[in-house]
Amino acid sequence: MCEINSNYLKLPGSYLFAGIKRRVDAYRAAHPDAKIISLGIGDVTRPLVPAVIEAMHAAVDEMADASTFRGYGPEQGYDFLIDAIIRGEYTARGIEIDRDEVFVSDGSKCDVGNIQEIFSADARVAIGDPVYPVYLDSNVMAGRTGEFGPDGRFAGITYLAGTEENGFSPEPPKERVDLVYLCSPNNPTGTVLDRAALTRWVEYAREKEAVILFDSAYSAYIREPGLPGSIYEIPGAKEVAIEFKSFSKSAGFTGVRCGFTVVPKALRRRDNSGKMQSVNALWLRRQCTKFNGVCYIVQRAAEAVYSLAGMKQSREVIDYYMGNAELIRSGLIGAGFEVFGGKNAPYIWWKLPAGLESTQFADKLLNVCQVVGTPGVGFGPGGEGWFRLTAFGDRAETAEAVERICRASLI
């Protein structure tokens, strides 16, 4: 008899997001003339930039000719893209990364979900709260947790609370953990771990022989000078950290699919006999067995993001979204609300008045303003009492949504 992996049954399911959609659909059916504006989307809306489109067209033509056609490529990505990534992301930040430390993939979600496979099944895991749910769920599936409790937490996980008091920058725990997931700029709080905070994490990981899994999918949105856009800006990080980046939010690739993961060769950890092993070699082995590379056309498209025209055009798109973020941020502050984020990330983290639950508030915002957002509790128990708005919408619609919120009496 084949038994299923019962760890999957521990997951409470995405009832929250399904519930939001159901209520929005019901509202739309009852009010067919209402103009509903969504500030809930975690997806880009602007088209691919011209430099990327040109590169894609050229690559499509190469595939039509026997002399330039490509079949299977290297599992870890073509050198032309790896070199562009190193130049655009690392040399530009004064960081030295070798070609065989970069692993091109079809997006960061797969990588941040899969990376736990190469670590011990009994590794102790620390995860931000609130944060992108993939880190937690992939560890639940792998059996690294106990059951989901009535407090909204899984037993066996160390939750790193990001609160208003700590500036959404959790400190390393007292206890020893083995794997630490950090997301900066953070989804959903829109806040960034500064150099001092990241240095404390790197020092903690060095001392405890932990590994930091650093998701910086939104680093292209960082505006304030001095904030780290890569964990490798911190001395000693190459011995303790794996970094994930994606073209999804930086260049509109959510539907095209491309990202990359950096696993430094200096990162070594013990096996069950105490012998040091290369984490880079394990990830290479894993990818070569379970992954077969990213589409050639897509890799040419990603390469074009780092061309002069590509960088300029991508910057303009990010500026557009960040203009939306500023509209939301300043609008809500002007209306007397307390908000965080929105300065170095496309997310605005809205503090709800005490006692108001984030799912109740979602209904109120829909009913009173016809605006959709995301209840904070969807990102972990620490998100209760908070609400996420995103800057990925259309400018005029975003402005109208902010106006409606400012005019309404929501509280």
Ligand X SMILES: *Cc1c(COP(=O)(O)O)cnc(C)c1O
| Binding residues vs ligand X (CB under 6 A) | 107-109, 132, 183, 187, 215, 217, 246, 248-249, 254, 259
The torsion angle over the Cα atoms of residues 108, 114, 118 and 124, rounded to 10 degrees, is: 100
Give the shortest CB-33-to-ligand X separation in angstroms. Answer: 33
Place of tokens 């290297």: 74
Give the shortest CB-110-to-ligand X separation in angstroms. Answer: 6
CA distances from 65 to 60, 61, 268, 304, 305 (A): 9, 7, 44, 21, 25
Give the shortest CB-42-to-ligand X separation in angstroms. Answer: 6
Give the shortest CB-111-to-ligand X separation in angstroms. Answer: 8
Q: Judged by CB, which is closer to ligand X: 188, or 264?
A: 188
Q: Judged by CB, which is closer to ligand X: 337, or 347?
A: 347
DSSP 276: E
Give the shortest CB-277-to-ligand X separation in angstroms. Answer: 27
DSSP 86: I
Q: Judged by CB, which is closer to ligand X: 138, or 246?
A: 246
Give the shortest CB-207-to-ligand X separation in angstroms. Answer: 27
Q: Judged by CB, which is closer to ligand X: 331, or 376?
A: 376
d(CA 293, CA 223) in angstroms, rounded, equals: 32
Q: Where are the alpha helices (DSSP H) in 12-122?
A: 15-30, 50-63, 79-85, 108-114
Q: Judged by CB, which is closer to ligand X: 190, or 331?
A: 190
Give the shortest CB-180-to-ligand X separation in angstroms. Answer: 15
Q: Judged by CB, which is closer to ligand X: 259, or 331?
A: 259
Place of tokens 């959709």: 372
Q: Judged by CB, which is closer to ligand X: 107, or 331?
A: 107
Give the shortest CB-186-to-ligand X separation in angstroms. Answer: 8
d(CA 29, CA 24) in angstroms, rounded, equals: 9
DSSP 253: -
Give the shortest CB-292-to-ligand X separation in angstroms. Answer: 17
Q: Cβ of 254: how many Cβ atoms within 10 Å?
A: 16
d(CA 170, CA 41) in angstroms, rounded, equals: 26
Nearest residue relative to ligand X (C-beta): 107
Radius of gyration of the chain (CA): 22
- Nearest C-alpha neighbor of 168 from the set 197, 189, 196: 189
d(CA 184, CA 131) in angstroms, rounded, equals: 10
Contact 129/161 with Cβ under 8 angstroms?
Answer: yes
Q: Judged by CB, which is closer to ligand X: 154, or 247?
A: 247
Q: Cβ of 41: how many Cβ atoms within 10 Å?
A: 15
Q: Judged by CB, which is closer to ligand X: 139, or 246?
A: 246
Contact 245/219 with Cβ under 8 angstroms?
Answer: yes
Q: Judged by CB, which is closer to ligand X: 44, or 140?
A: 44
Token pair, residue 119, equals 């670590």
3-state secondary structure of 128: strand
Give the shortest CB-81-to-ligand X separation in angstroms. Answer: 15
Q: Cβ of 367: how many Cβ atoms within 10 Å?
A: 13
